[in-house]
Amino acid sequence: MDKVDFIKDFRDSKRIKALSDIIFKEADRPINIMEICGGHTHTIMKYGLSQILPSFINFVHGPGCPVCVMPKERIDHAISLVQDERNILVVLGDMIRVPGSESSLAKERAKGKNVKVVYSPFDAIKIAKENPQKNVIYFAIGFETTTPMTASVIEFTIKEDIKNLFFHINHVLVPPPIKAIMDSKEANIDAFIGPSHVSVITGAKIYDDIVKSYGTPVVVSGFEPVDVMESVLRIVRQFKEGRREVEIQYSRAVNFNGNVKAQQLIDKYFTTRESFRWRGIGDIPYSGLKLKEEFSYLDAEVIFKDILPSKQIDDHKLCICGDILKGTAKPYDCKVFAKTCSPENPLGACMVSSEGACAAYYKYGKLELTL
C-alpha cells in the first residue's frame, strides 16, 4: 500500500465527492449537527461542505474556539498587567486582537507596552530567562488541547526554579458548555461532531455522558474535509439504524482513553473553578481551570491581585453570538454582521478569531450571500 499523505489523501476530491453521493443516497431526515470545535467550522466553510450536502443537514457552530469565548474581563486583566512596565505579557497568536472593554493587546503593544506573541508556550521560559529584572506573565488560554503544554511549562519553571515567570490561567473545558447549551430550552441540536485535538488528549470517553444525557450521537472527527464528510455519514447512519453512541472517525490520532500522561500532568497542577464566564454564553459552573492552591506563588491572579479589575462586563447588546452558539440563529441573522461587526472590529465572540463562526462566514461565506 502507498504511504498515506495526511494532507492530500484527506482532501482528495474523489473521496469527498463519493462521500457526498453516499450521504445524498442515505440521508432521510433533517439533522442539526453541532461541530463543537472552531477548527471544524473552518473546514466546513473553507471547503464549502454545506454546498455538497442535502439542505436538511444543518451545521450549528459550537463554542469550541478558545479565543472567541474569552470574556472581556479576562482581556482587561491582561491589559492591566501590561500597564506596569516591569511586566511582560506572553500570549499565543490571535489573542492579541480580542477586544477587552476598552482596548486590545494589539493596541497596547502599539503603545509600546510589553506584549510578546509566541508560537510555543515554552518561549515564555526563554523570555523569562532573558529578562531577569521583569515579571514575565504567560497568559494561558485554550481547551484541553493546550492545557498540557501550559502544565509542562509550569513543571519546567518549578524544576529550574525560575523566579520571575507567572501564569494567568484561562484554560477551559469542552463538556460543560455543551451541557449548558443542551440544558437551555431553545437548543436545537440532534448530534455532535466531536473535536479532534481536544480528544487526542482527553480521549473520546468525555462524550459518553453527553450521549447518555441527551441521546445525541457524537462522532469524533479529524479536521480535513474527508474526515468531516465521513463523520456526517456516520451520524446519518446512527439515526438510520437507531443507534446513539460515541464513535471515533479520527482513529489515526484518537482513542477512548486519550493521552493519560498529559491528563496526569493537567491534574497535577490544575483544579476546576466554581464558575467561568464565557463570551456569548455567560457563567458556566466548573467550566474553567485554575492553578491549585499549592502553586499560588506562580498564579498571576494571586500575585497581581491588587491591579486586576474585578468588574463583570456584559456582551454587546446587538450581538447574537449566544443564539448562534445554541443553533437558533445563523451569523447572517445578526443585524450587525459584516456591518459594525467585522474581523477588523469584532463586537462579539464569534467574529474574534478566524475559527469563530461569524469570522468563518465573513471570510468564506460571502459567496452564499451573493448567490
Residues of the shown chain interacting with another protein in the complex, contacts defined by CB under 8 A: 7, 13, 16-17, 20, 39, 45-49, 51-52, 66-67, 92-97, 106, 117, 119, 141-143, 145-146, 197, 343-344, 353-355, 363-367, 370
Alpha helices in 28-116 (DSSP H): 38-46, 72-83, 105-110
Quote the CA–CA distance of 59 and 352 in Å, as a whole number.
20
Task: For the CB of residue 295, give the shortest distance to another protein in the complex, in Å.
Answer: 23
Give the strand pairing for 191-194 and 31-37: parallel
Q: What does 91-143 look like in DSSP terms, one character per residue?
A: EEGGGGG---SS--HHHHHHTT--EEEESSTTHHHHHHHH-TTSEEEEEEEES
Unique residue bearing C-alpha cell 461542505: 49
Output 119 or 317, the one with its CB closest to another protein. 119
Output 148 or 217, the one with its CB closest to another protein. 148
Output 106 or 336, the one with its CB closest to another protein. 106
Alpha-carbon dihedral sign for residues 213, 57, 365, 42: positive
Output 46 or 240, the one with its CB closest to another protein. 46
Output 48 or 282, the one with its CB closest to another protein. 48
Identity (one letter) of the amino acid at 167?
F
Quote the CA–CA distance of 253 and 262 in Å, as a whole number.
14
Q: What angle do CA 223, 224, 227 make, to 5 degrees?
A: 85
Output 170 or 216, the one with its CB closest to another protein. 170
Task: For the CB of residue 155, give the shortest distance to another protein in the complex, in Å.
Answer: 20
Task: For the CB of residue 151, give the shortest distance to another protein in the complex, in Å.
Answer: 15
Task: For the CB of residue 117, give the shortest distance to another protein in the complex, in Å.
Answer: 7
Task: For the CB of residue 51, give the shortest distance to another protein in the complex, in Å.
Answer: 4
What cell numbers appear for 186 in the block?
A: 431553545
Task: For the CB of residue 10, give the shortest distance to another protein in the complex, in Å.
Answer: 11
